[in-house]
Structure 1
Amino acid sequence: MVKTPFIYYDFEMNENIDTALSVAGLTEYIKLLLEEDPQLIQVWVTGEVSSLHVHRMGVFFTLSDNKGQATIKCVVWNSQKDRLLELPKLGVEILVMGNVRLYAKKGEYQLTVFQVLATGEGLQALRYQQLKNRLASEGLFDTSLKRSLPSFPQIIAVVTAATAAAWGDIQKTLSQRNPGVKVLFSPATVQGKEAPSSIVKAIERVNHDGRAELIILARGGGAVEDLFCFNDERVVRAISESSIPVITGIGHQRDETLADLVADVNAHTPTAAAEMAVPSYEVLRIEHQQRSYRLLASIKQRLRQESEQLASLKKRLKNLPVNAVSLREAKMRTLMLKQKLEALDPHAVLERGFSVVRQIDGEIIRESKQLREGQELTIQLPQGKIKVKVTEILS
């Protein structure tokens, strides 16, 4: 057996021994190094809670790495405990944020913890909240920035995936509610890493085209992670910067994304977004019919009032002294009232050879600028109506 020889070190005593540090001095030096290091003032650490002790002053626990090769002592003081999103639990992997402190009496360092999150989804939730707060501070979600939707849009753009069920649902709903509306499709990937840039390009494509009066950004329901692309800052800013109002219909009723918060209008589903985009043609027809009935009733009521006034004047006329001046004035008054009644009667105008030209929705045509070739119109005659189509506009 070979013996290992001893190695002797010969230390010389010199003047440098006078610079030796005390234990307190060395500890204070290490304390300054740790606590003033900018990397350690606020540091995120992940690990498994390997020990846990609830004390009257706070919660003391130990974090260990998954291989058991390193540990660090941690403390959450009672003053901070109510602000935690999660409480440390024995055997659970967590993500903590805190700063490193050194305690001189024991010569130990530990992590003073200010926040605790579950790993995975917890970290994603933190990033979501931080981005939401930053964008909110810029005013992107202010209600004062929300634009009103056009009442009767003629052209609507839809941004979603070509193979998504949302695209079929939107087409069906728009067709049922208003067959005359024109739909422009701007395809986009709405799931995965490529989705944010694809959605941004699709929105920019619609704005560059310039024909659409409204944009529907939609995706059907799914897992929470499937909707992450709608929390991307690039998508949020593209919606905010769009010159065309945007309705979002993303996921289910329980889902909410940052895209929903920045949109001018937020619907809970793609179908609901389509329903908000256009009024129902059938509802419009009924409302127009009701307005016509109310207008006709108002005219009839006015005619009755004027007739009653005329009858009253005739009665008063009979009781007036008969003389040429009074009779002439009464006749003139009667004539004026008669002319007034005739002027109020819309059928009298038609009987004189005039007709009323209306658009399909009932709006009266007053000038040729309102017309376009191929447009269908209705013409009200003294007796009945006819439907015509514009073949040429002369002036």
Structure 2
Amino acid sequence: MEYVDLLTLQSAIKDGLTELFPESVWVKAEIAAVQVRMNGHCYLDLVQSEDGRQLAKVKAVIWKSKFPLLRAFFKDATGKDLEVGQQILVQAEVNYSELYGLSLVIDDINPEFTLGDAELKKQQTIKMLQDEGMMDLQQKLELAAIPYRLAVISAPDAAGFGDFKRHLTENQYGFYFEVDLFPATMQGEKAPESIADALGAVEAAGGYDAVLILRGGGSNLDLACFDDYGLALAIAQCPIPVFTAIGHDRDYHVADMVAYRFVKTPTALADEFISMYMDEDERVGNLGARLARAFAAKIQQRLSALEELDRRIKAADPRAVLRRGYTLAVDSNGRVIKSAAAVHKGDSVSIMLSDGTLTAKIEKVTI
């Protein structure tokens, strides 16, 4: 039986790999683990997955002689450090050790690839939400005319939350708002689930007019959690209007797209709610003015009617007729004499004038 010893086999593999990959190659992979050791070296586990199943895995290292430069280069371009879950494109030497097996020694990294991969995932998420009819669910909700009870989802120590609350509660008009904080992780791979859990807590608490998701800005990759499908779905399906203000000036994240409304910064969102109060205050003021005018017009109309009625009553008053030179004759029973045939010779009658009454006896009746 022919055989080879282990070292010979390992050496043959090493020689074969060296011949196959004599120079560095560009490798696309996902970071499954990353650790910076005390000695300054950075060790990574790189994987390739499909449908949640790992298809390939390899160890990689960035030696301390290059790690500070590559780290700074990547962070400057993406705004983030090397983190689990990132898709990266690295230039690496294929290394094989008879003792430790296959590994990659990273010499360079392309941050543009990582940014591009994030954008691709974002577009895929948007397509899924569109296909599921989730993009405009929030727009079908009705916001209270005066949304004063607000649930804020943010990190407790976030500057954005502090700025928002101060700007809102110290408004110059004295408008009152009730603001409750629901703490959440606002960055990194745990952020989407944490924010979604906070949304669930708000819904369970009940009684809120609006939910506000606040963050004080960050780099593109810092804010990549707001492109997460699960978080976007939670926002879309929330039965309370959700406002987002995550501090970005240029980018438009999926969370913004599915929200009831998005504003660039927490302070701008505070202004938005103050403006709602001002609009309602003006509307109520205008309504009060219209009611006052309507009541004044109605009262004037009634006064005019009363004046006309008074005029008619006065015009119909017998004393007014007498003052115009007419007289009024009544018989002995006080009945008005309307016809000569109603009296006879010898009857006593009273003749009323404007300034007194005459008593007379009928001497003759001529018809």
> Could you state the TM-score of these two structures normalised by the residue count of structure 2?
0.50
Q: Is 1:224 the equivalent of 2:228?
A: no
Runs of 5+ consecutive residues of structure 2 not aligned to the other structure: 1-49, 51-89, 95-108, 320-367
The size of the alignment, in residue pairs, is 214
Q: Is 1:163 the equivalent of 2:157?
A: yes
Whose RCO is larger (CA < 8 A, sep 6+)? 2
SS in 2 for 1:183: strand
**Change over 3 Å in CA distance of 1:288–1:165 after alignment to 2:** same
SS in 2 for 1:225: coil
Q: Are the counterparts in 2 of residues 155 and 213 from structure 1 also a CA contact under 8 Å?
A: yes
TM-superposed deviation, 1:275: 3.4
**Change over 3 Å in CA distance of 1:131–1:181 after alignment to 2:** same
Q: Are the counterparts in 2 of residues 153 and 278 from structure 1 also a CA contact under 8 Å?
A: no
For 1:248, the equivalent position in structure 2 comes to 244
- Structure 2 letter corresponding to 1:137: D
Q: 1:313 & 1:222 partners in 2: Cα distance?
A: 77
TM-superposed deviation, 1:260: 0.8
Matches within 5 A, 1:64-143: 119-142=113-136
Given candidates 183, 187, 198, the residue that maps to 1:187 is 183
Computing the radius of gyration from Cα coordinates, the structure with the larger value is 2
Moved more, 280-289 or 128-137: 280-289
For 1:30, the equivalent position in structure 2 comes to none
Q: Are the counterparts in 1 of residues 141 and 239 from structure 2 also a CA contact under 8 Å?
A: no
TM-superposed deviation, 1:320: 5.6
Q: 2:180 & 2:210 partners in 1: Cα distance?
A: 10
Note the alpha carbon deviations across 1:148-177, whole angstroms, 9 max, x for none: 212223421100112212101221232134
Runs of 5+ consecutive residues of structure 1 not aligned to the other structure: 1-38, 40-64, 70-92, 95-117, 324-395
Moved more, 237-246 or 160-169: 237-246
- Structure 2 letter corresponding to 1:196: P
Q: 1:283 & 1:199 partners in 2: Cα distance?
A: 31
SS in 1 for 2:224: helix
For 1:210, the equivalent position in structure 2 comes to 206
Q: Are the counterparts in 1 of residues 138 and 259 from structure 2 also a CA contact under 8 Å?
A: no
**Change over 3 Å in CA distance of 1:243–1:166 after alignment to 2:** same
TM-superposed deviation, 1:288: 4.1
TM-superposed deviation, 1:66: 5.8
Q: 2:303 & 2:170 partners in 1: Cα distance?
A: 47
Q: Are the counterparts in 1 of residues 153 and 182 from structure 2 also a CA contact under 8 Å?
A: yes
Matches within 5 A, 1:337-356: none
For 1:34, the equivalent position in structure 2 comes to none
**Change over 3 Å in CA distance of 1:216–1:237 after alignment to 2:** same
**Change over 3 Å in CA distance of 1:300–1:168 after alignment to 2:** same
For 1:153, the equivalent position in structure 2 comes to 147
**Change over 3 Å in CA distance of 1:67–1:260 after alignment to 2:** closer
SS in 1 for 2:176: coil
Matches within 5 A, 1:264-343: 264-277=260-273, 287-317=283-313
SS in 2 for 1:119: helix
**Change over 3 Å in CA distance of 1:159–1:286 after alignment to 2:** same
Q: Are the counterparts in 2 of residues 170 and 274 from structure 1 also a CA contact under 8 Å?
A: yes
Q: 1:281 & 1:148 partners in 2: Cα distance?
A: 16
Cα-Cα RMSD: 3.4
Task: Give the percent of matched residue pairs that are identical in Structure 1 and Structure 2.
Answer: 32
